[in-house]
Amino acid sequence: MIARHTLRATVGLASAALAVGVLAGCGTGGADPEDGTLTFVTYTGGDAALKYENLIEAFEEANPGVTVELEEVAGDTSYDQLIRSRIQAGTAPDIFEVLNGVGGMRPYVEADLLTDLSDEPWVAHLLPSIAGQAAAIDDREYAFTTQVSTQGLFYNKAIFEENELEPPADWDAFLDAIETLKAAGVTPAAVGGADGWTLWLQTIVQAVNQEAFQEANSAAAAALLDGSEKFSDSDEWREVLEGFQELVELGVYDPNASGIDFTASANEFANGKAAMLVQGDFALNAVRTANPDIEIGYVPFPAVDRGDEAAVALSPGGILAIPTDAPNAELAKEFLRFLAEPANMAAYLSAAAALPSLDNVEAGDVDLDPALVEILPAVQSKSVDGSFLGLTPESTTALQTGLQGLLTRTMTVDAVLESMDQAQTRP
Amino acid sequence: MNVVDRAGLAQAGPARTSPRPRMSAPRDRGRRSRVHRNPVARWVIILPALILFTVVMIAPVAVNFVYAFTDWDGFAPTFDFVGLDNFARILGDSAAIASVRNTLVFTVVNGFAQVGLGLLLALALRRPGRFVAFLRVVIVFPIAVSGVVIGLIGNIIFSPTFGLLATLGDVPGLGALAQNWLGDPQLAMGTVIAMNLWQWTGLTMLIFVAGLVGIPAELYEAARIDGAGAWHQFRHVTWPLLAPAATINIVLTMIGGLKVFDVILVLTNGGPGTATRSLVMQVALQGSTNYGYSAALSLVLTLFIIIVTGGLLMLLRLRERAT
């Protein structure tokens, strides 16, 4: 337990030392407003160099005398301390990547540290779910979201064709497909139930189709977060859990699903033992590694009534903000505008193997996995940010545990909701 | 009337027969006494260790104790004292209650099995010899295996898709082996205990073997002359004289059981649901976002271990003295 304090102290010291080092470094040049050097800080792990390399080169070519310095910093607890101490020391980066999504951006906005970007031309093209969630803080836009990651329903095209199935567009069609697949002796869907988060994901794709959660920073989610509404009393979460339970009762998953992990579930889907996989788009990598020849379709999870349009669950990535104290704020805005041009965005997304946050990027222009291309129109037509469903880290853990309970038929929906309430409440 | 009592040998445990080591040369004793008499020298010698111990052991425990009465979440710069709220919360937390129940089940079942199996193995492998020594090494070897590897081995054996047992289950007549060993709430705890036994029974055996080696052969000779069979030899010679080894083993497995964590983490991560979640896992889980509550849980766990093992130790020592 206590080791963490010491660790935190060490991290604090280290980042302080880092900040001092940066200060010393900048004293010799870097931050001079006149020299046209754009400092761009990202956190490691995002393959930033790979994704931005060509675009930075093109930007420098289009703007003679300008250089963009890309800095990659460890994206751990010290990241925000580093950014803040640089802002305080007057050596703010011109652009930095916000850690931990819109939630991570909030403290900066509240401290008035970010440049208002609401009047930038690309704002009109941001997907409503992306623009809305960020604007929910104070009605303004403070960042450019470069990409989104999605969660939805992968299906094996060959198996679907064999059984004369169309990708399901609503809940009834989904249940029909399940019956057909079961009758054909195919496990309808794979899930790695030993990894609690894979089960959590099965409910996120349902929850984003609950109307009450579809508005940015919805009242329903806010009430769950501040404790004024209990999960036990939430019709939305009850319906989601009952939906999951219904699928378990129907035998959608392998009877051993609780004993296999994510990788095993991806293998099961890749090898045609299961016809569907509800996962995030990152799962494509695991599936294609296990079976490069598989033909995969990808659609929003159809937790909707007949005739309604299902929403894609997504979360924003690569959120770029400009500090109010950025020495080259105008140039930084210029860079973001350049990045947001459809052709440049398409190049970026091809390198990042990711889906766009803008509605003016054409599927045909981006070199993406066919599965991602298939879901792109749905992403641009109707998507909901899956990180605003009223869950805290504690209730998320309780939800994951509870879903394992539902999967192994050892817990009731009521008991799961109650355990989420117990976890959400703080002393 | 039992054989050993009649032979007057019940007092003849190894600890009693070996004479106390004498203080060495008088010259040495003089030097030691001077240091003993000088309080400054004494403190100078003790201080470094004392400071280290205070900083790395006592202070953290004390700080943790304080946090148990606060609502600190682990991140916020401030916190409030909330009295006994955290402790009251444990009683209403079904996951925490489940983790206490699981920990007790694990401790009792694993404890009996580990000490019992360890004793049987020690008795079977007590004779010296190359083959026996080889077998002992094989049985002790898993102690050296790290938790991560245990997780991999567990997956290789128990996975319902590619595991050894699932594969064997395809053989006619062995179908019962194809179970969802780690994913079925009815089986998961048993599987985890089996894996823990695989890892730690060797240590228990080793301690028993050491105890057995210390029992003088003459006692068995005397018992045999008095007509004692194998069972009576065990009951009246081996078992009483193994008391110190048994005490150590029982207390060690008890502590190990109450604070079990890694083997569960790598095999089931406490799942499915809360079926195998232990108290320490619950503490760790809460520690990341609910520091105060987590500290209260760990305080309860610590008190629990102190009371259970302390009481047990006293009982076992009494038993040792009685024999």
Q: Given B82, B95, B298, which is nearest A419 (Cβ)?
A: B95
Which positions in chain A touch B269 (Cβ < 8 Å)?
194-196
A86 to A336, B50, B77, B146: CA distances (angstroms): 21, 41, 21, 42
Instruction: With CB atoms and an 8 Å threshold, state whether B95 touches A422.
Output: yes
Percent of chain A exceeding pLDDT 90 equals 71
Beta-bridge partner residues of A126 = A358
Say if CB B206 and CB B248 are below 8 A apart. Answer: no
Whether A315 shows a pLDDT value over 60: the answer reads yes
- The per-type count for chain A, helices as H runs and strands as E runs, is 17, 9
A interface test, pick of B102, B274, B277, B298 with most A CB neighbours within 10 Å: B274
Q: Given A267, A401, A427, which is nearest B82 (Cβ)?
A: A427
DSSP annotation string for B214-257: TS-HHHHHHHHHTT--HHHHIIIIIHHHTHHHHHHHHHHHHHHH
Whether B24 shows a pLDDT value over 60: the answer reads no
Say if CB A277 and CB A264 are below 8 A apart. Answer: no
- The per-type count for chain B, helices as H runs and strands as E runs, is 18, 0
| Cα atoms in the Cβ-side hemisphere of radius 13 Å centred on A259 | 28
Residues 6+ apart with CB under 8 A from B231: none
- The pTM (predicted TM-score) of the whole model is 0.80
Amino acid at B254: M
Beta-bridge partner residues of A40 = A70, A95
Region B85-104: mean pLDDT is 89
Between CA A405 and CA A226, with CA A396 as vertex, the angle to 5 degrees is 130
pLDDT band at A11 (very low <50, low <70, confident <90, very high): very low
Q: How far apart are CA B241 and CA B78, in angstroms?
A: 57
Which positions in chain A touch B268 (Cβ < 8 Å)?
194
The enclosing H or E element of A151 equals strand A143-156
pLDDT at A422: 86
Q: How far apart are CA A16 and CA A78, in angstroms?
A: 9
Residues 6+ apart with CB under 8 A from B162: A264, B156
The enclosing H or E element of A375 equals helix A370-381
pLDDT at A17: 40
Say if CB A9 and CB B60 are below 8 A apart. Answer: no
Q: How far apart are CA A64 and CA A58, in angstroms?
A: 10
Shortest CA distance to A184 belongs to which of A165, A167, A171, A166? A165
Nearest residue on chain A to B290, alpha-carbon basis: A426
Amino acid at A84: R
Q: Which two tokens stand for residue B121?
A: 């193995």
Q: Given A1, A401, A418, which is nearest B64 (Cβ)?
A: A1
Region A360-379: mean pLDDT is 91
Region B97-106: mean pLDDT is 93
Q: Out of B53-57, B75-79, B222-226, B245-249, which region has the weakest mean confidence (pLDDT)?
A: B75-79
Which positions in chain A touch B80 (Cβ < 8 Å)?
none
Whether A33 shows a pLDDT value over 60: the answer reads no
A interface test, pick of B180, B266, B268 with most A CB neighbours within 10 Å: B180
pLDDT band at B33 (very low <50, low <70, confident <90, very high): low
Instruction: With CB atoms and an 8 Å threshold, state whether B183 touches A194.
Output: yes
Nearest residue on chain B to A418, alpha-carbon basis: B94
Closest approach of B114 to chain A, Cα-based (Å): 26
pLDDT at A15: 42
Shortest CA distance to A134 belongs to which of A114, A155, A161? A114
pLDDT in tens, A117-169: 999 999 999 999 998 888 888 889 999 999 999 999 999 999 999 999 999 99
Average pLDDT, whole number, for chain A? 88
pLDDT in tens, A42-92: 987 767 778 888 899 999 999 989 999 999 988 887 898 899 999 999 999
Nearest residue on chain B to A265, alpha-carbon basis: B161
Percent of chain B exceeding pLDDT 90 equals 40
Residue given tokens 């209403």 in the structure block: B92
Beta-bridge partner residues of A97 = A320
A343 to A70, A122, A358, A379, B195: CA distances (angstroms): 21, 13, 12, 19, 56
Say if CB B241 and CB B235 are below 8 A apart. Answer: no
Q: How far apart are CA A196 and CA B41, in angstroms?
A: 58
A136 to A215, A226, A379: CA distances (angstroms): 10, 16, 20
Instruction: With CB atoms and an 8 Å threshold, state whether B285 touches A196.
Output: no
Q: Which two tokens stand for residue A94?
A: 């011109």
Region A242-264: mean pLDDT is 94
Instruction: With CB atoms and an 8 Å threshold, state whether A259 touches B288.
Output: no
Q: How far apart are CA B252 and CA B239, in angstroms?
A: 18
Beta-bridge partner residues of A316 = A148
Q: Out of A199-203, A332-336, B216-220, which region has the weakest mean confidence (pLDDT)?
A: B216-220
Neighbouring C-beta atoms of residue B65, cutoff 10 Å: 14
> Which positions in chain A have a beta carbon within 8 angstroms of at least one beta carbon in chain B?
1-5, 193-196, 255-260, 264, 267-268, 392-394, 397-398, 401-402, 404-405, 407-408, 410-411, 415, 418-419, 422-423, 426-427
pLDDT at B18: 45
Region A355-382: mean pLDDT is 92
More confidently predicted of A16 and B173: B173
Neighbouring C-beta atoms of residue A308, cutoff 10 Å: 15
Strands A312-321 and A37-43: unpaired
Q: Classify the C-alpha dihedral A268-A271-A275-A277 as positive or negative.
A: positive
Q: Given B273, B289, B294, which is nearest A410 (Cβ)?
A: B273
Region A158-186: mean pLDDT is 96
Give ipTM to 2 decimals: 0.73
Closest approach of A104 to chain B, Cα-based (Å): 14
Q: Given A256, A260, A411, which is nearest B273 (Cβ)?
A: A411
pLDDT band at B29 (very low <50, low <70, confident <90, very high): low
Q: Given B60, B93, B286, which is nearest A2 (Cβ)?
A: B60
